[in-house]
């Protein structure tokens, strides 16, 4: 390329980079509080900016390493394919066909596993197996990294470790694999840019699939094309975590089929670990720990290729994971399950965290039974003291979570300490987020006419892909009730959220539990009004200080009457303290 043309080319690429950065940064400024539509626009601009950054930086990169151009073109096609798939909800089989076509394009460009070197000298030519094995490798790794993205930060973290290791191993081979080294550093740099733009969070199918495709390519370019037989373990070790995860998804999909193995609603290791009681943060730590462990194992296998060493590394990974899970589950049980049930004036309240509660929800979804979640606050505790039916429901519910600072304060004063309040709306929001990710079905029941519809509309804007299969207000007679129950049974939701007020909502759920046959049923009080925009939640500072009740009382003066009735709650606490109960019994 001539000097003048090269300068113009670089200036053009620089312009594209600046333009894409504007797309990414501009939405960060302006109003701090964005509504759901504005948030969706921000995400669109971010995605567009990332695409432009990748395209322009790829053009600059190809100038120095033209051999990588087919790989970068293929990766960008994968990105566009996932983008179109999200917009038009393409079938999984069609996506696999597109991905196979892109892989076949790279095979024609020479990015292919054609032979491996024999330890005794010579080559093992794969001949007719070469093309299908290469295509299968691209599909497997791309989907492996994409599936791993359901854990916050996991796909980025694994990509960081893998790109560094691939680059290092390619450099140490002394075969002038500079394209592989440079591509590894490009992936690392692009990953760092993603972490700055999107945060250390989930990337989405578009970016995670593209990263997986790039990692599969650099593995072939730097290792699988010209490596000794035993050092085939090196790329497998480097990508061990996502490959194990997707293998588990495929195998368990045959044993306990939920849907397609590559779909969102799959039996992944993540869901299994959640069902054991591990929190998302603990699972993410385990993923990163195993990635670093396998990276060390890859370097050992590269330096000392030995089948027995490979066995030892895999055995060590199994023992490490088992020990970590046992420790984490044991610690969680010690902090939660062992002393989970607390008593406030004899009324049951569970002492668990949000992450542990979400883990139990995953376990509930797996066992096929119907489960009830209740979130009582201080007035609800008083109601339970006067209403034997409601108190029985609290005793028999699958989870009873403290939704109110008064319950937490009382628990500590009465010697039954609860770690903190767990607002029902926050648990509901976390469940909605997972429902949108896994494609689970949601039914909303409660509030005044039109409120549930508006709440559903806002929920689907906030959680793209959320599948709300039915809504109905909370005012109905016996005839209408039968129709509602029939509708719920027909659409078979995973979650049923009922907002009729305490204790009416819990009594309705408990009375119809067997007829509804819904895995997760939860009373949510006035949460539908919050989602519909009729009621505003307190600012974060009020929630952190446990003063949400004060904020709502100021905005809604009629609530002062309800607050004044809590004198009985305070009086009961005082009586228990004077009696020296220490056990929360009255």
Tens of pLDDT, residue by residue over 271-330, are 777 767 677 778 888 888 888 888 888 888 777 777 788 888 889 888 988 888 887 766
> Is 60 exceeded by the pLDDT of residue 334?
no
Of 246 and 572, the structure prediction assigns the larger pLDDT to: 572
pTM of the model: 0.66
Name the pairing type of β-strands 495-499 and 520-523: parallel
* Residue that wins the pLDDT comparison between 26 and 241: 241
Q: Is the pLDDT of residue 585 over 70?
A: no
CA distance 392 to 356: 24
Asked if residue 577 has pLDDT above 70, the reply is yes
User: Which two structure tokens, joined as six digits, stand for 414?
Assistant: 């009465």
CA–CA distance, 270 with 290 (Å, rounded to integer): 14
**What percent of the chain stands above pLDDT 90?**
24
The 3-state DSSP class for residue 257 equals coil
Cβ–Cβ contacts within 10 Å for residue 434, how many?
21
Segment 452-460 mean pLDDT: 94
- Domain locations along the chain: 65-328, 341-579
Band (pLDDT 50/70/90 cuts) for residue 226 is very low
Confidence of residue 554 (pLDDT cuts 50, 70, 90): low
What's the average model confidence in pLDDT over 188-192? 75
Please give the structure tokens belonging to residue 325: 């899970």
Residue 138 or residue 205, greater confidence: 138
Name the band, by pLDDT with cuts 50, 70 and 90, for residue 390: very high
Question: What is the separation of C-alpha 15 from the centre of its chain, rounded to a whole number of angstroms?
Answer: 35
**C-alpha gyration radius of the chain:** 28
Question: Which residues have CB under 8 Å from 477's CB, separation 6+?
Answer: none
Task: Count how many Cα atoms sit within 13 Å of the Cα of residue 283 in the half-sphere of its side chain.
Answer: 26
Q: 104 falls in which pLDDT band (50, 70, 90)?
A: very high
Name the token pair of 24.
């990414």
pLDDT on residue 249: 67
Q: What is the pLDDT of residue 156?
A: 82
Better-scored residue on pLDDT, 224 or 533: 533
Q: What is the pLDDT of residue 250?
A: 66
- Segment 445-462 shows an average pLDDT of 94
pLDDT for 12 beyond 60 = no
CA angle at 424 for the pair 419 and 427, rounded to the nearest 5°? 80
- pLDDT value at position 508? 97
Query: Please, what is the Cα angle at 140 between 48 and 192, to 5 degrees?
Result: 40
- The terminus-to-terminus CA distance of the chain in angstroms comes to 87
pLDDT at 43: 63
The model's confidence at residue 424, banded by pLDDT at 50, 70 and 90, is very high
Query: Looking at the predicted structure, is the pLDDT value of residue 505 above 90?
Result: yes
| CA separation for the pair 467, 532 (Å, rounded) | 17
pLDDT of residue 1: 44
Q: CB burial class (10 A; 0-12, 13-18, 19+) of residue 547?
A: middle
Burial of 120 (C-beta count, 10 Å sphere; 0-12/13-18/19+): exposed
Average pLDDT for 115-142: 75
- DSSP structure class, residue 502: T
- How far apart CA 6 and CA 239 sit, in angstroms, is 37
CA dist., res. 405 & res. 392, Å (int):
23
Between the CA atoms of 226, 231, 235 and 241, what dihedral angle is there, to the nearest 10 degrees? 170
pLDDT band at 360 (very low <50, low <70, confident <90, very high): confident
pLDDT at 222: 66
- 425 pLDDT above the threshold of 90: yes
Residue 401 scores a pLDDT above 80: yes
Which of residues 199 and 166 earns the better pLDDT score? 166
Across 288-302, 506-520, 534-548, least confident range: 534-548
DSSP label at residue 30:
S
- CA 98 to mean position of chain CA atoms: 26
Distance CA 49, CA 19 (A): 8
pLDDT band at 546 (very low <50, low <70, confident <90, very high): low
Backbone phi and psi for residue 159, each to the nearest 5 degrees, phi listed first: -65, -40
Q: Residue 228 has what pLDDT?
A: 42
Q: What is the pLDDT of residue 338?
A: 46
Judge whether residue 365 has pLDDT over 70: yes
Least confident of 37-46, 112-121, 341-350: 37-46
Bridge partners (DSSP) of residue 444 are: 471, 497
Task: Write a three-state SS string for 330-393.
Answer: HHHHHHHHCCCEEEECCEEEECCCHHHHHHHHHHHHHHCCCEEEECCCHHHHHHHHHCHHHHHH
User: Does the N-terminal peptide bond of residue 284 adopt cis geometry, omega within 30 degrees of 0?
Assistant: no
Residue among 451, 471, 431 at smallest CA distance from 531: 451
pLDDT band at 384 (very low <50, low <70, confident <90, very high): very high
pLDDT in tens, 71-81: 888 988 998 88
Place of tokens 């376990």: 363
- Cα distance between residue 41 and residue 479, in whole Å: 44
β-pairing verdict for 467-472 and 495-499: unpaired
Give 496's strand partners. 443, 521
Task: Note the pLDDT of residue 94.
Answer: 85
Residue 176 confidence (pLDDT): 60
* Coil/strand/helix, residue 415: coil
Exposure string for 468-500, b = 16+ CB within 10 A, e = fewer:
bbbbbbbeeeeeeeeebeeebeeeebbbbbbbb
């Amino acid at each position: 390329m001539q000097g003048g043309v090269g300068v113009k080319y670089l200036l053009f690429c620089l312009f594209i980079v600046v333009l894409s950065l504007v797309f990414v940064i501009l939405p960060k400024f302006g109003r701090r509080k964005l509504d759901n539509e504005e948030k969706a626009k921000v995400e669109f601009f971010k995605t567009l900016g990332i695409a432009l950054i990748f395209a322009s930086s790829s053009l600059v990169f190809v100038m120095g390493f033209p051999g990588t151009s087919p790989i970068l073109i293929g990766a960008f096609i994968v990105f566009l394919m996932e983008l179109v798939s999200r917009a038009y909800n393409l079938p999984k089989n069609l996506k696999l066909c597109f991905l196979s076509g892109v892989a076949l394009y790279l095979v024609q460009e020479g990015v292919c596993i054609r032979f491996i070197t024999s330890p005794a000298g010579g080559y093992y030519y794969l001949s007719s197996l070469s093309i299908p094995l290469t295509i299968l490798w691209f599909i497997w790794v791309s989907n492996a990294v994409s599936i791993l993205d359901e854990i916050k930060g996991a796909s980025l973290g694994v990509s960081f470790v893998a790109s560094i290791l691939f680059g290092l191993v390619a450099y140490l081979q002394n075969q002038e694999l500079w394209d592989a080294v440079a591509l590894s550093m490009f992936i690392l740099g692009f990953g760092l840019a993603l972490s700055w733009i999107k945060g250390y969070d989930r990337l989405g199918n578009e970016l995670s699939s593209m990263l997986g495709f790039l990692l599969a390519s650099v593995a072939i370019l730097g290792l699988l094309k010209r490596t000794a037989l035993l050092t085939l373990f090196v790329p497998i070790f480097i990508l061990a975590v996502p490959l194990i995860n997707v293998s588990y998804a495929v195998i368990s999909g045959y044993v306990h089929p939920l849907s397609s193995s590559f779909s969102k609603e799959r039996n992944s290791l993540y869901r299994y670990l959640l069902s054991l009681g591990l929190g998302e943060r603990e699972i993410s730590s385990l993923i990163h720990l195993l990635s670093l462990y396998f990276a060390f194992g890859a370097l050992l296998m590269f330096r000392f290729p030995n089948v027995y060493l490979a066995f030892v590394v895999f055995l060590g990974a199994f023992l490490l994971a088992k020990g970590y899970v046992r420790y984490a589950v044991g610690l969680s049980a010690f902090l939660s399950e062992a002393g989970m049930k607390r008593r406030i004036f004899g009324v049951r309240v569970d002492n668990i965290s949000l992450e542990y509660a979400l883990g139990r929800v995953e376990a509930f979804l797996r066992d096929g039974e119907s489960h009830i979640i209740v979130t009582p606050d201080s007035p609800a505790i008083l109601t339970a003291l006067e209403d034997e039916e409601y108190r029985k429901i609290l005793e028999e519910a699958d989870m009873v979570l403290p939704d109110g600072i008064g319950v937490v304060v009382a628990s500590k004063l009465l010697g039954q300490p609860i770690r903190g309040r767990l607002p029902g709306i926050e648990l509901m929001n976390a469940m909605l987020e997972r429902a949108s990710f896994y494609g689970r079905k949601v039914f909303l029941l409660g509030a005044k006419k039109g409120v549930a519809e508006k709440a559903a509309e806002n929920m689907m804007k906030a959680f793209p892909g959320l599948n709300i299969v039915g809504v109905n207000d909370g005012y109905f007679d016996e005839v209408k009730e039968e129709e509602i129950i029939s509708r719920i049974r027909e659409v078979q939701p995973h979650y049923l959220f009922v907002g009729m007020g305490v204790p009416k909502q819990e009594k309705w759920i408990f009375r119809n539990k067997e007829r509804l046959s819904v895995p997760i049923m939860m009373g949510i009080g006035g949460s539908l009004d919050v989602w519909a925009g009729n009621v505003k939640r307190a600012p974060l500072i009020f929630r952190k200080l446990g003063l949400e009740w004060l904020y709502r009382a100021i905005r809604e003066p009629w609530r002062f009457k309800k607050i004044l009735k809590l004198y009985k709650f305070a009086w009961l606490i005082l009586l228990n303290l004077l009696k020296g109960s220490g056990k929360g019994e009255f």
